[in-house]
Structure 1
């Protein structure tokens, strides 16, 4: 299929309840936070991982929907597939630890093979110059960090393991008093956000789609993944997560009809106070903390919409 011909932006709203939406390995796996505002953060890499996982489940690794960045994958072997396809009768391709394009034409063929066969390369782009060199692709779809609408207060929860790891540990538990048994148990901890509503912005460039072949079918699959990716990403650490809204801005041409930030500003999120939209500021400090999506109201300003821009509510 031909590449998309329209520029898009979107606002993704998702929430977490009693879970850790994105742990920070540099902070003992605490939920990621902005240290100046205590707003919760979810990285673009985390969101892309969930999209990749959904596409892999939905398409089963079928033609044109293989996933390049997979857990445990050897990237150079995927690059080698491209060289095998381009240099059909070259026996050295199977053995060489390092490969580089012979000329610009071959470099284009290698990049095109990766785009044609791997959904995430075609969508997000990739740096593929790790020894077996397939070049670099800039993808049409880019995501910003998600940020919580209000500040979050992570809770640290202690957990214990009742089972023993070996016979010696079991014997100690049986011989000791109740309080000693407690000491012998394996202790652990987990961090949760009691509730947080997160907002992420996304950008889809038709001009870069022309270079990778990102099509209308790919676009629909991307939106489908954004709507359903949390349904197949359940884990004890992540609690309950769900996509709450996906608001898409569609431009009538490839270059766009309005600046992205002006469109994002049309989506306002406030507190739901007795059914009324209330701006989130110091005046609501006396309200209890939000614990559900129903504690918020989302308003989309459709007045004086720039010519050539359409607003589509997917969720």
Structure 2
């Protein structure tokens, strides 16, 4: 999507450190729930803050949209989805590779009414349950077995599918088997297989890492790409504005002509965030040049996929990528970042990007400015 794209800064075997400069006009870039959703600030300096999590949400949203245009869209699933259930995501790795997602359990059926009911619904039982009947004059008891494979949602759907054919006592027995099944016995090989599958199929796990031991165990992944909080160049002034609504919320307020709502924003803020890419960790998670290329695209275009009246006008203003020839680095990161300067032109309240001056080395190798083995790529700025 950009003519400046080269294999150099998309090479996952190299170390990349980058700065992203972005701004917001008449909007709330990241609300603080501990402060009535006012824009986040450093209380000592009143400089604005945007969390790494807020930026990652925008990146994930962009990747989710862009995935369908990739050569292998299946590699670009998103682990941390809106309203998603993480344990269900982890379970997909076990199911995809035919690994047990629960312990197999079996119980004898002693209640005559339950036995009669199971005989009636035997063919309609969910596939994960197996009823073993015995002759009526036998000394042995019938039994009901469960393979352990259903998630909570799937089990509820299967149970609902039986409708009125299943009596309450039979439902209780099915639920008891589901509860007793629990997680499968720990197996280090299965954990590693699941971890690899998750890395191969979920973009945000490959890049950002994840803790995947909350349900079925898929281990933990340290992500090669890390972001800091972004901080505004100058102090910001959060504002809490009253707005009028011509509709009312409750029936008891019907006689009112209007009600009052709230909007929080800042008039203008220019933010700088920092990021780091580790080739050592990228090798472990399987990051490809396509993954990195799509990440740089996300930093440019994710803002257009995240428009909201509450966020005002947010836009990227500069992306500066320092690529090291040595995978361990050719220069201290802080010294490279210090080469990019963002300062206010005049002593006044800034209201647009043009009120600032951004200085950075020319793009290309930085040998002549004292950083041999480091190349600067400017995607914006």
TM over 0.5: yes
Once residues 150 and 77 of structure 2 are traced to their aligned partners in structure 1, the CA distance between those partners, rounded to angstroms, is 21
Partners of 1:246 and 1:25 lie apart in 2 by 29
* 2:371 counterpart of 1:306: yes
1:253 and 1:20 mapped to 2: Cα distance?
40
Q: Relative to structure 1, is the Cα distance of residues 156 and 102 closer, same or farther in structure 2, using a 3 angstrom cutoff?
A: closer
2:315 — aligned with what? Answer: 242
Q: 1:198 to 1:161 in 2, by over 3 A?
A: same
| Alpha-carbon distance in structure 2 between the residues aligned to 1:297 and 1:100 | 59
Is the Cα–Cα contact under 8 Å of residues 195 and 219 in structure 2 kept in the other structure? yes
Deviates more, 1:22-31 or 1:155-164: 155-164
1:176 corresponds to: none
Q: Given the superposition, is the C-alpha separation of residues 109 and 23 from structure 1 closer, same or farther in structure 2, using an over 3 Å criterion?
A: same
Name the structure 2 match of 1:41.
Answer: 49
RMSD: 2.1
Question: 1:230 and 2:303 equivalent?
Answer: yes
Instruction: State how far apart, in whole Å, the 2-side matches of 1:77 and 1:186 are.
Output: 42
Give runs of aligned pairs for residues 251-270 of structure 1, distance below 5 A: 251-270=324-343
SS of residue paired to 2:148: helix
Conserved 8 A contact 2:23-2:269: yes
Alpha carbons of 1:260 and 1:249: their partners in 2 closer, same or farther (altered >3 Å)?
Answer: same
Q: Distance in 2 between matches of 1:159 and 1:298?
A: 36
1:188 aligns with 2:296: no
Gap regions ≥5 residues in structure 2: 1-9, 102-146, 152-177
In structure 2, distance between residues paired with 1:271 and 1:216: 37
Task: Report the secondary structure of 1:307's partner residue.
Answer: coil
Provide the residue aligned with 2:350 in structure 1: 290
Q: What residue number does 2:65 align with?
A: 57
> So what's the TM-score if we normalise by structure 1?
0.86
**1:258·1:306 contact (CA, 8 Å) conserved in 2?**
yes
| Structure 1 counterpart of 2:294 | 221
2:23 to 15, 20, 23: 15
Question: Residues 22-33 of structure 1 correspond to what in structure 2 (within 5 A)?
Answer: 22-33=30-41
* CA distance in 2 between partners of 1:194 and 1:208 (Å): 40
Instruction: Provide the secondary structure at the position in 2 that maps to 1:36.
Output: coil
Q: CA deviation at 1:230?
A: 0.7
**Partner secondary structure for residue 64 of structure 1:** helix
The CA deviation at 1:71 is 1.2
> SS at the partner of 1:237?
helix
Contact 1:56 / 1:65 at 8 angstroms: preserved in 2? yes
**How many residue pairs end up in the alignment?**
290
1:132 aligns with 2:177: no
Change (3 A) 1:268 1:3: closer
Q: 1:300 to 1:203 in 2, by over 3 A?
A: same
Larger Rg: 2
The answer (yes or no) to whether the contact 2:38–2:239 under 8 Å persists in 1 is: no
- Of stretches 112-121 and 298-307 in structure 1, the one that deviates more from structure 2 is 298-307
How far, CA to CA, are the matches of 2:244 and 2:294 in structure 1?
41
Partner deviation per Cα, 1:60-93 (whole Å, 9 max, x = no partner)? 4931000000111111111111111233587534
Please list the CA deviations of residues 210-257 of structure 1 after superposition, one character each: whole Å capped at 9, or x if unmatched: 000011110010000011111111111100000111000011132121
1:71 aligns with 2:136: no
Contact 1:10 1:246 in 2 (8 A): yes
Distance of 1:195 and 1:219 partners within structure 2: 31
**Partner secondary structure for residue 345 of structure 2:** strand
Q: Secondary structure at the match of 1:121?
A: helix
CA spacing shift, 1:100–1:205, aligned 2, 3 Å: farther
